Structures are given as C-alpha cells and as structure tokens.
Amino acid sequence: MKQRLLPLVVLSLAFALPVFAEINEQTKVEIEKAREQAKTEIENVREQAKTQAENVREQAKTEMERVREQAKTNLEYAREKLKDSRGEIKKEIATKRVSQTLKVYTASADRLDKIVVRIESRIAKIKAAGGDTTAIQTSLDLGKTKLAEARANIAAFAAIDVSSATSTSTAQTLFNTVKVAAAKAKESLKAAHASLVKTITLIQGSEKTIKVKEAKENGDDNDDDDDNNASSTKDKKN
C-alpha cells in the first residue's frame, strides 16, 4: 500500500512545485509592488508635510513681517505725534515769549519818545537863554532816526506769526527768525538810547554854561548895585 502511495506523492509534488514556485514569484512581485506603492505614498506624505511646513513657515514669516511693519508704523506715528506735541508746546512758549518781548520793546520805545519830548523842551529853553543848540540838535536828530529804526524793527518783530509753523523744521526756522528780529530790535533800541543819552549830556553841558553866564551876569549886576548904594550913602553924609 505504501509502495503504491509513494509514487503518487512524488508525482503530486512534481506538479505542485512549479505551482508553488509561480505563486511565490507572484507574491514576491506583489510584495515588491506594495512596497513601492508604500514607498511612493510615504514620499508623497513627506512632500505634502514638507510643503505644508513650508507654507506654515512662509505664513508665519509673512505674519511676523506684517506685525513688525505695523509696530514700526505705530512707533513712527507715536514719534510724529510726540514731535507734534512738542512742536505745539514750543509754539505756545514762543508765542508767549514774543508777546512779552514785544511789550518790553514797545514800552522801551515809548519811554524814549517821552525822553525826546523832554529833550526838545530843554533845547527850547536853552535857545531862549541864548545858548548854542547846534550840536545838541544834531545829536537829537540822530537819536530820533535810531528810534524810528527801532520802531520799524519792533514792527517787523511783531509781524512774525509763530503759530503758522506746520512742522518741526518750519517751527525751527521761524524761531530762528524771531531770535534774529528780536536781537535787531534790541540793538536799535540800545543805539537810540545811547544817542539820546549823549544828547542829554550835551544839554547838561550847555545848561551849565548858561548858569555860569547867568551867575556872572547877576554878580556884575550886584556889584553895580553895591556901587550905587555906596555913592548914595556918601552923598547923604555930605
């Protein structure tokens, strides 16, 4: 029995081995194919992940740039607002200073005008007393000219509108203009004052001369009166 089955088993194996070999080859191909597909899918997933990561990175970079630019814009805006605020404060201070300085300069010019009036009155008295007023009048005329220049410079100083500044640069330019105009008005006032002081000095000298002359004349008159009184007394005794 066993001897009969052995050839059948051998025969079956002979037929089965090629079949098994073919199945193994197909399985191997399918496994390789599956492996390649898996590899391809993994590569696709990696590429997709890489692409997504790049997109996220670019979006984050773009957002960061946007935030940075926004922060820069906000900072520049804040700086400009601060500059504007400082500029407004400076304009207010400058306006007050200009107003105060203008009052001082105008009051100084008014005082000099009053001095001119008093000088003219004293000159008239010197003329009436027979004094020489040529040099005095020349000095006074120069003082009047200087005072007129001072008035013109004060008017130019008053005409400057500090509040018209629209930016820091124009404000600085206006402030410089104000300083120059103020200095010019001040110098012209000093020149007018100096000229009038010189005029007063000349007047004082002339008045002193007149007083000396008058005193001398009064002294001569008194001597004549004494002589007359002495002669009268002598005649009475005789």
* Residue 212 to residue 210: CA distance in whole angstroms: 5
Identify the pLDDT of residue 149: 94
In the numeric block, which tokens belong to residue 191?
């020149």
Does the predicted TM-score (pTM) go above 0.85?
A: no
pLDDT tens readout for residues 130-187 = 888 999 999 999 999 999 999 999 999 888 877 766 555 566 777 788 888 899 999 9
From CA 214, how far away is CA 218, in angstroms rounded? 6
pLDDT of residue 81: 56
Rounded Cα–Cα distance for residues 235 and 226 (Å) = 14
Q: Give the H or E element holding residue 207.
A: helix 168-237
Nearest to 186 by CA among 155, 150, 156, 161: 150
- How many C-alpha atoms does 131 have within 13 Å on its Cβ side? 25
Residue 139 near residue 199 (C-beta atoms within 8 A): yes
Q: Is the pLDDT of residue 190 over 90?
A: yes
Dmax over Cα atoms in the chain, in whole Å? 223
pLDDT at 2: 47
Query: Among residues 182, 170, 176, which one has the least CA distance to residue 84?
Result: 170
pLDDT value for 170? 65
Q: Coil, strand or helix: which one is 133? A: coil
At residue 21, the pLDDT reads 55
Residue partners of 98: CB distance under 8 A and separation at least 6: 157, 158, 160, 162, 178, 182
Mean pLDDT score across all residues of the chain: 77
Residue 237: pLDDT over 50: no
Alpha-helical segments (H) within 129-167: 134-158
pLDDT tens digits, 203-220: 999 999 888 888 887 776
pLDDT digits (tens, 9 = 90+) for 27-61: 777 777 877 888 888 888 888 878 887 887 888 78
Percent of the chain whose pLDDT exceeds 70: 68
Residue 71 has pLDDT above 50, yes or no: yes
pLDDT band at 23 (very low <50, low <70, confident <90, very high): low
